[in-house]
Amino acid sequence: MKTIVLDPGHGGQDTGATYRQYREKDFNLEVALLVRNYLLESYSANVLMTRTTDKTLTLAERTEIANDKNANFFCSIHHNAAGGRGFESYIYSGSVPDSTKRIQDIVHQEVYYAIDQYGVVNRGQKRANFFVLRNTEMDALLLEILFIDNEQDLQLILNDEFVNDVAKAVAQGIAKALSLPRKTTKPPAGKVLYKVIAGSFNEEVNAEERVAFLKDKGVDAWIYPVTIEGQLFYRVQAGAFAEKENALEQEVKIQQLGITDAFLVTEGTSEPPESDKPSNPEPVKGFSILGPTLLRPETLHQFLERVNPNAPDLAALYVELSRVYGIRGDVAFAQAVHETNYFRFTGVVQPGQNNYAGIGATGPNEPGATFATPKEGVLAHLQHLFAYASTEQPPSEFEIVDPRFSLVKRGSAKTWIQLNGKWAVPGTTYGQQILDLYERMLQLEIELVNAHIDQLEKAKQQLD
């Protein structure tokens, strides 16, 4: 199996290029992680990362990782700055084998082909004496995706759709250049394959633990990543069978080992019969965006008023309109409180814009969308959340007023935490901050309800 090392440039104390609140290191990591996911999902390859978090690493540490692991290919991912716009790729300016040139040709073309539709400038295939290219003992490539300090480029870097397309193209280019075998074994035409899935996990390490547990019990299993509605799951596959009976037998055997979350999936038919659908759909971990609104408008407004007595009263609108979209309107309200700093509008968005969620607002020169009325502003906010949380058609009750609805990768954030890096870039704690506010709102509601219960009890006693 071939080994690929992905190197998200900079990290930790080294931010790379910066522009306004944006830091190159965050964009590099975001793209590199997506490339890894695409590779793992579709190809047989060992994919290593020099970093998966915001961590400081020297250049020598990066090349050592690749050299120590005898990697077949090293790919460093950066974003550019300082005068220019567009995409470029680099290989070492000294002597390189033909294979390096060939990989650059293929990856560069694959990426440019995918992003040309966004109007990206092609700055070409270049050569340079960069440390990571010079000191890697294998084919090595460095990508400069776009310029973070160019307004047109920045808008693309902040666009999920674009970022996904770039990452996918980098992965496909690497796969093509290195002839990586495709992972999914497709059943023969017209035949059905029953796969036994012994658990499905958000974290790879949990899947690895499950595989180890099964191996210990004499069951051969392996990890098979799959993307469902934009979210990556690590499925643990413990056999695939042409006969359903055999698959069921294996499922029972696995359940007897104490694995209660095992299920079957079928592959090879366009319409699997109802009974063959996974009995245990991939769970959404974390607090979902879709769900019931628990808090009363009075409580929401009271929470807000304690900090800003002059705040507009929009809580009832949030509670009412969120029902149409099946969104937790109280958490959306907490998000608006966070985005507007308790409706004091201390950021770039002005109160008159009726934009409570910072839609399209990316900096001082781009204060974002303006909505005609508070109701329209709340609707746009809820529609934007719906675009992230659901892949369904939006309810037809209201027209789409969110100007960025079509730019969202549908279903790419099912939980508030998953909005990190999407609604707010890099925003590594964005969802947590919203949920912290929500937790305090819940606490307030509990106190109010308790006080109300006391009153009820007292009234009841007076009747006796």
In angstroms, give the least distance from the CB of 134 to Zn ion. 16
In angstroms, give the least distance from the CB of 77 to Zn ion. 9
In angstroms, give the least distance from the CB of 143 to Zn ion. 10
Which of these is catalytic: 24, 30, 144, 376? 144
Task: Reply yes or no on whether 229 is catalytic.
Answer: no
Nearest to 49 by CA among 33, 61, 38, 60: 33
Told to check if 199 binds Zn ion by CB under 5 A, we report no
Nearer to Zn ion, 16 or 297 (CB): 16
Which residue has the CB atom at the shortest distance from Zn ion? Answer: 78
Told to check if 16 binds Zn ion by CB under 5 A, we report yes
Nearer to Zn ion, 9 or 225 (CB): 9
421 Cβ contact list (under 8 Å, min separation 6) = 26, 30, 427, 428, 430
In angstroms, give the least distance from the CB of 122 to Zn ion. 19
229 Cβ contact list (under 8 Å, min separation 6) = 391, 410, 411, 412, 414
E strands, 57-192, in order = 73-80, 87-92, 122-128, 139-147
Told to check if 9 binds Zn ion by CB under 5 A, we report yes
How many angstroms separate the Cα of 61 from the Cα of each of 26, 46, 58, 77? Answer: 19, 19, 5, 16
Told to check if 8 binds Zn ion by CB under 5 A, we report no
Residue 34-73 contact track with Zn ion, rule CB under 5 A, x = bound = ----------------------------------------
Nearer to Zn ion, 51 or 78 (CB): 78
Nearer to Zn ion, 125 or 288 (CB): 125
Pick left, alpha or beta for residue 297 (phi over 0 → left; psi -120 to 50 → alpha; otherwise beta).
alpha
Nearer to Zn ion, 18 or 350 (CB): 18
List the structure tokens of 345.
Answer: 């509008």
Give the containing element (helix H, strand E) for 362. strand 361-363
Told to check if 78 binds Zn ion by CB under 5 A, we report yes
- Distance, in Å, from the CA atom of 85 to the CA atom of 153, rounded to the nearest integer, reads 6
In angstroms, give the least distance from the CB of 9 to Zn ion. 4
* Structural contact between residues 348 and 368, judged by C-beta atoms closer than 8 angstroms: yes
The contact set with Zn ion (CB under 5 A) reads 9, 16, 78
Q: Catalytic residues, which ones? A: 144
